[in-house]
Structure 1
């Protein structure tokens, strides 16, 4: 096999996902499963990309991937030539890449076709550790998934994939076999998240509280992990409609964050926003407004200027003004939120319905 070569992959992509891809041109993307590709362009195009346009809500994509085996070796990106066991018996020249292989999006252009205008070619180049963005991304992923190890990391992945029943089963097994307080705390935290996602709030609360009790013994009194635990407990109480208890937990979380984190950390913005949500639901609109505005101030410093979270803040502020009867201020906030969403989100995103409904 040559040192540098091209492979192809044809597939369908929802219009919403394709719009997101177009906005990230020049950035990185990864395939979150084993990546089947072919050295044969015609099979990828005619058997996979073009038929995908039969679905009126999809576009047909032909990925053209430039591979450098030197980068594969340096970045530990395994691949295998599997044409002898492929479905097309050697015609496809199939090459299989490992999960989470990362590429840079070089070019996106329409493929002329007399039958449809929904065929696109996307040129990708394999990214490796010679790429600064690649290094930042892999460092972020390592940070996200290394707070637990071994089977605990697998449970975390199941939670993120929405496989709640499988995650619950695994977490219970891990809890039964836990040999340290840290493991018991981590697995209770994960189990609480599973129950929260399933809407079983009383069970989520029990698991989160067990995790917190262990952390309170093992960690310093103002450790950021304690703040995260109080925040989780606040989320549960909020969803149970127990707003005074939610407020107490959120405020305890915020107290710790003010000591443990930099003054403009995004987690502080999230805490102020959560406190604003509680006050809003309690009908204490002036306090809600103050919290939402503090959250927005931090986000303006911590986030890019058109981040969707800023749009959410303006929307929340608009809701408060609307309930206070200050309709011109509400309209101004809603319109600012809509402007940002037009830049940051794909055109069919459900948040647009919220914006237009609020303005109406």
Structure 2
């Protein structure tokens, strides 16, 4: 038995190190031995089952994780009772697993049960109780309830600071979650402040090259990128990448996450070749692994498909999207939001390729599943509707697109608030649609609303702000307001040159637009 217990401990160690294949092999050998010598439902056997569930979930295999967590829960309820602390571990884990699968109502039931049981058995300030509070914060964030999420995170943070101390890794993990919440809400300065606060503690307690320190550098890099602080963002991401590859290895999950964000950083700047290089670099590492974090790999392939599409490599893009769709259908199911978003991407690509017959089945799948999901507490169906509205817009079905965009805007205003970044994206899309329909006054109203909020949230030189300035310039040109159009074009050009360089394609387009505009003004 000592040998099998050692396998379990080695599995835990390999999992912490990000060596998932070796961790799984260790757990399987431990489980085989414990089942043989102690029985299928012995508490020690179920501990390993629970560990396997956690590993599967970490690898982006939530259905396999759910199967393990359910087995552990049923066995513990039977052997130990529904309120035993070990049983509540399974309840908590299953709740988090349901959150990852977007089964948010079931997740809430499980997490509230775990919290009630843990507070009764251990007390409200026990670290395990506070971990469940933290998980509830993540759930509420996924449900589009940022105020409730913040309330949970603050409660967990204050409890952990008091019980565990300011510098405990669990305390800093909750601080990190709070930063992500603020970043998702578009509160980028607050997010960066939180991340830097955590970074200082990690560097002091763990050192500059510790995994958690490098992950925090990664977070700061993405927050800076979202704010338009491109030099600082690249500096942070490259520092994180160099440290992670040197200390953890090129195939470590943390390294791959940083490379993914570097790829996205370059893609957002229109540096498609550099972005493709980063994504291909990460993909090679995933291909070497026998088993990997499937969720991250699918996300990578999806982004690579988008790069190919922007480069005009439509067959390569289709191959990527098909691989992602098949993988997500198998791992997550046909109705999961990530599967449906991929179906939208593939259908949109078919539209570009004039392969509409091949997309009929996808159309039916997305419509059916989205209608079903609209009754849930998640904002995810709104993301799918927005994608669908964009497809209708490209197809010239402007009335259908308007219905989708308005539904998205109303839903996001209700759930996220009027100034949330996702709400402003919806406002901008409605403006674009109105412009397509020739409703220029209504379009101007939408653009001005988006511009005012984006300037306040991101500053005057952020990409999203400049894109809205550019849209206003185009609109003013169509309205014959040439002085205003020139002002907007010049502002957008100056901002794009600062961010992307004078040779960027958008800068060339704006210079041509300014020449045409001035010729029009001179002929009047």
**Counterparts in 2 of 1:195 and 1:147: CA distance versus 1, 3 Å:** farther
CA-to-partner distance for each residue in 1:26-49, whole Å, 9 max, x for gaps? 542599xxxxxxxxxxxxxxxxxx
What secondary structure, in the 3-state scheme, does the structure 1 residue paired with 2:251 have? coil
**Distance in 2, Cα, partners of 1:256 & 1:151:** 29
Name the structure 2 match of 1:227. 256
1:41 equivalent in structure 2: none
1:301 corresponds in structure 2 to 330
Q: Tell me, yes or no, if structure 1 residue 290 matches structure 2 residue 319.
A: yes
Deviation of the 1:341 alpha carbon: 1.6
C-alpha displacement of 1:351: 2.9
Distance in 1 between residues matched to 2:317 and 2:346, nearest whole Å: 8
**Structure 1 residue aligned with 2:374, among 340, 345, 357?**
345
Q: 1:148 to 1:333 in 2, by over 3 A?
A: farther
**In the alignment, what sits opposite 2:108?**
28
Q: 1:131-175 CA deviation, whole Å, 9 max, x = no partner?
A: xxxxxxxxxxxxxxx995544641442232334213323444555
* Aligned twin of 2:357: 328
Where do 1:1-360 residues align within 5 Å? 25-28=105-108, 72-74=119-121, 76-77=123-124, 149-151=170-172, 153-162=174-183, 163-173=187-197, 175=199, 178-179=203-204, 180=207, 181-182=209-210, 184-260=213-289, 262=291, 265-346=294-375, 349=382, 351-355=384-388, 358-359=391-392, 360=397
How far off its partner does 1:238 sit? 1.0
Separation in structure 2 between the aligned mates of residue 68 and residue 321 of structure 1, nearest angstrom: 47
Q: Deviations over 1:171-204 (max 9, x none)?
A: 4455556241216423321211211332434432
How far is 1:274 from its partner?
1.0
SS of equivalent residue, structure 1 residue 315: helix
3-state SS of the aligned residue for 1:28?
Answer: helix
Structure 1 residue 219 displacement after superposition: 1.3
Q: Deviations over 1:5-30 (max 9, x none)?
A: xxxxxxxxxxxxxxxxxx85554259
Kindly indicate which of the two structures has a greater share of residues assigned to strand. 1
1:68 positional shift: 10
Query: Cα gap change, 1:293/1:148 in structure 2, threshold over 3 Å: closer, same or farther?
Result: farther
Alpha-carbon shift at residue 294 of structure 1 (Å): 0.6
Does the CA contact (< 8 Å) of 2:340 and 2:384 recur in 1? no
Task: Structure 1: state its 5+ residue gaps.
Answer: 1-22, 32-64, 80-97, 103-145
CA positional deviation for 1:224: 1.8
Task: Evaluate the alpha carbon distance shift between residue 172 and residue 269 of structure 1 in structure 2; reply closer, same or farther with a 3 A threshold.
Answer: closer
CA contact (8 A) 2:260 2:282 kept: yes
CA distance in 2: counterparts of 1:261 and 1:99, whole angstroms: 35
Greater per-residue helix proportion: 2
Aligned CA distance change for structure 1 residues 335 and 233 (closer, same or farther; 3 Å): same
Shift of 1:71: 5.2
Stretch moving more, 154-163 or 282-291: 154-163
Q: Deviations over 1:268-327 (max 9, x none)?
A: 211111110101111111100000001111111110331011111111111111111222
- Name the CA shift for 1:315/1:156 in 2 (closer, same or farther; >3 Å): same
- Output one character per residue of 1:62-84: Cα deviation in whole Å (capped at 9) or x when no partner: xxx999976532254369xxxxx
Mapped to 2, the partners of 1:340 and 1:251 lie a distance apart of 32
1:199-238 Cα offsets, whole Å, 9 max, x none, are: 4344322211101111122113322221111101001111
Q: Output the CA distance in 2 between the equivalents of 1:292 and 1:147.
A: 41
Is the CA contact (8 Å cut-off) linking 1:171 and 1:190 kept in structure 2?
yes
**Cα distance in 1 for residues equivalent to 2:116 and 2:320:** 52
**Cα distance change on mapping 1:153 and 1:300 into 2, 3 Å:** same
Cα shift at 1:256: 1.3
Could you tell me whether the CA contact under 8 Å between 1:311 and 1:338 is conserved in 2? no
Counting matched residue pairs gives 245
Shift of 1:350: 5.2
TM (norm. structure 2) is 0.41
> Alpha carbons of 1:294 and 1:70: their partners in 2 closer, same or farther (altered >3 Å)?
closer
Aligned to 1:87: none
Stretches of structure 2 lacking an aligned partner (at least 5 in a row): 1-102, 127-131, 137-166, 398-524
Q: SS of the residue aligned with 1:220?
A: coil
C-alpha distance in structure 1 between counterparts of 2:284 and 2:106, whole Å? 40
